Amino acid sequence: MNKILVSGKVEGIVLKSNDPINFLGTVDKKTGVISDKNHPLFEKPIKDTILVFPSGVGSSVGAYTIYSIKSNNAAPLAMICKKVDLTVATGCALANIPLITISDEEFLSIKNGIKMSLDTDSSTLSVHQ
């Protein structure tokens, strides 16, 4: 774990993307489903997952999308990035979604579909066997 942007403690299933996410326009703000045909997570819901992706990209209004997704109970439990952009950081800060960054090695080691737990107080990120 490199940085803790928003603290919290969660446990859930990883949904991983190797491509960045542009929250504005590519994530449905009511359902939390990825609506961009060119995105590897197309048609996947991000609700109640631990969403692992390299970084957010695109318009700053994407922060409101994160807040909307949370208000509509369609948000991830936590987000984990390699690099944090301002849209994701502030969207998560307002919506109170735990957000951390990790190293390239840690990113590579996390596989889609595994169960993980995150606790920022003790700085632990672990895989359930």
For the annotated catalytic residues, the residue numbers are: 59
- Contact residue for another protein among 16, 21, 29, 116 (CB under 8 A): 29
Per CB under 8 A, 51 contacts another protein:
no
Per CB under 8 A, 93 contacts another protein:
yes
Closest CA relative to residue 10, chosen from 98, 100, 102, 110: 98
3-state secondary structure of 26: helix
Helix ranges (H only) for 28-103 are: 62-71, 86-95
User: Which token pair is 55?
Assistant: 């970084």
Interface with another protein: number of residues (CB under 8 A): 40
Query: What does the binding site for another protein look like in residue numbers (CB under 8 A)?
Result: 3-6, 22, 24-26, 29, 35-36, 38, 55-65, 67-68, 70-72, 83-87, 89-94, 99
